[in-house]
Chains A and B, each alone.
Chain A
Amino acid sequence: MAKVPVQFRLNGSDRAAFADPADSLLTVLRRGLNDFGPKYGCGQGTCGTCSVLIDGELRLACLTLAASCEGASVETVSGMADGPNLHPLQNAFMEHFAAQCGFCTPGMLTAAKALLDRNPNPSREDVIDAIAGNICRCTGYEPIIQAILAAARTLPAQRRS
């Protein structure tokens, strides 16, 4: 089967890869572009650890056809930090012990970023709803919720007004 070329922006850089026609975006990210941030968890859309932002929208990379991302802007957890400076969410996850085994963390961070990008001043209920598609089997969720709320409080005041 002939490979299909796929080009998109990945964390701000133009990237290209050849994919099998039915490859998921997650396969292309991990095998083709060496972005190991998003994880392969369930492959069913249940666990959320493959969460990415496509043109700013939260999606599941394991259920997204790579070829459908042609020309899109894809953001993964690998692009959250600004060089050595972690994103406020990443700092908050550290400070609130919001990661234990860490397998859900890429998806949790990405889902949380999607939330704060559109709602910089979320309520606890907003946070719970935002991570409803992400499963964590270590923390009991509470440290994650607290970390996201704490990160929101560190955002510049103009974003929260």
Chain B
Amino acid sequence: MPLALRVVQSLSEAAGILAADSRTTLLSGGTLVMRDVNEGRLTDGTLLRVTDPAWRQIQVSGTRIELGAGATMAAILASRELGFLHAAARAVGGPAIRNMATIGGNLFAAAPYGDFAVALLALDAQVMVLAGYGSPRAVPIEEFLAGRSRGEARLVASVQFNRPVAPGDFRFLKVSRVKPKGLSVLSIAAHLPGHASRIGQARVAYGAMGPLPVRARGVERALEGKALDANGIAAARAAALEGVQPVTDAIASDWYRREVLPVHLGRLLANQS
């Protein structure tokens, strides 16, 4: 039975359909799902489109930011208020892909894709999910990503997080062999509150250093209360590999990823990337 198509207006209706039928696949920007269609990995069931404009909204109110899951990388890049996220949005594909790829889709992109989700992990984002009819529920992004690996079917309505307080608190780096667009050897996002004096409650996340974006907890501990001087950066570099499980793929071997991660982390922290 070939693929069917269903179009709904509201997010809650879409969530209800997804919860009731495991053979329904939500289509957002198309950069992941249509690939599967083209390559014959998705051949039956139903594609579900949501036309709710609220799904694509970006709201910045004070320090709180909410990105609709259907907002594209290009929409992030068009927002001056989200300048601290531009490096992460620009890390996704070329211009055409950025006009299509969405925030919500990136949360489901398998390594070495999904660089924007790495930034959201370092920002301690809350993922607003709908599991069936009802109101969205806030799920910490780490918990959400763990659920993704278990194949839980949920609709992402939006992601919410606080704006970093000072310019330079948030940093992002993608390492690829092809410039300006290439797949990730790795990516690093760091939220470093107090980086100008003493760091408190740093959040550091890696992409392509495991099957999912992963927190660098060793680095976060090493940076606690430290200044971003030579000693602080050396301590972070020494803890860089804690908890990582990089894969070997066509882009890089796990050995190579382990070798270069501390180097790039050091450069990011020293603002030399």
Contacts and interface: CB of A to CB of B under 8 A. Distances in A.
Interface stretch (B33-41, B59-67, B146-154): B33-41
A111 interface: yes
A63 B30 contact: yes
Given A1-B1, A129-B180, A22 B94 contact: no
B34 A63 contact: yes
A24 B37 contact: yes
Given A43-B35, A64-B30, A132-B180, A48 B96 contact: yes
A77 interface: no
Interface string B110-123: 00000000000000
A1 B30 CA distance: 21
B27 interface: yes
Given A58-B96, A59-B96, A45 B35 contact: yes
A132 B38 contact: no
Interface residues of B, number: 27
Interface in B1-45: 1-5, 7, 27, 29-31, 34-35, 37-39
A63 B2 contact: no
A57 B99 contact: yes
B2 A68 contact: no
Secondary structure at chain B's binding surface: helix, strand, loop or mixed? Answer: mixed
Contact of A133 (B5, B47, B93): B93
A65 B34 contact: yes
Among A20, A24, A57, A114: residue with most chain B CB under 10 A: A57
B38 A24 contact: yes
Contacts of B4: 1, 21-22
Interface in B101-129: none
Given A45-B93, A45-B97, A59-B99, A1 B2 contact: yes
B181 interface: yes
A62 B95 contact: no
B47 A21 contact: yes
A56 B80 CA distance: 21
B207 to A, nearest CB: 18
Interface of B: 1-5, 7, 27, 29-31, 34-35, 37-39, 47, 49, 74, 93-97, 99-100, 180-181
What 9 pairs between A and B have smallest CB-CB spacing? Answer: A133-B94, A21-B5, A43-B38, A22-B3, A132-B181, A63-B34, A132-B94, A58-B96, A63-B30
